[in-house]
Structure 1
Amino acid sequence: MEKAFAKNLRTLRKERKLSQQKLASQVGVTQQCVSEWEKGKIEPTMSPLWRLADVFDISIDELIGRKELI
């Protein structure tokens, strides 16, 4: 999950012109947390994954790379 998730997160965030800080605020985490997710240093737990999927209006499978992004 790690590499696909990190790449997808960064791509989705940039496509929607969101800063790391803005996304962090929407998901309820710190900007540092979003940065570390995008670098592949850490992985989110289920709660932030659900919130990220809601923010981007995609499934968790798409977010973590189990299904291709549409």
Structure 2
Amino acid sequence: MHFKRLRDLREDRDLLQKDIAELLNITQTVYSRYERGFQTIPVIHLLKLADFYGTSTDYILGRTDNGKPYERKSIK
């Protein structure tokens, strides 16, 4: 699965792949594989990216066109 939105989100902020790779503590090559769909994104990285970009995981995955994050529920 190709994750075009990962690239779009990154480029909209004028960031390089190596910048996001550093955020995730991975190599630029691994991050590049995420963007091109050659490697599955671990859930922990997907969550971190959604938080970083202020969007939902569904938006990153292309399951919705709504870029706003979901409201978080408080844990009691």
Same fold (TM over 0.5): yes
Matches within 5 A, 1:1-70: 2-3=1-2, 6-70=3-67
Paired positions, count: 67
Q: Which amino acid aligns with 1:39?
A: R
Looking at CA atoms only, which structure, 1 or 2, has the larger radius of gyration? Answer: 2
Gaps in structure 2 of 5+ consecutive residues = 68-76
Normalised by the length of structure 1, the TM-score is 0.86
Identity, in percent, stands at 33
Normalised by the length of structure 2, the TM-score is 0.80
Change (3 A) 1:30 1:64: same
Could you say what the CA RMSD is over the residues aligned between the two structures, in angstroms?
1.1
Gaps in structure 1 of 5+ consecutive residues = none
* Runs of 4+ residues deviating >2 angstroms: none
Offset at residue 69 of structure 1 (A): 4.5
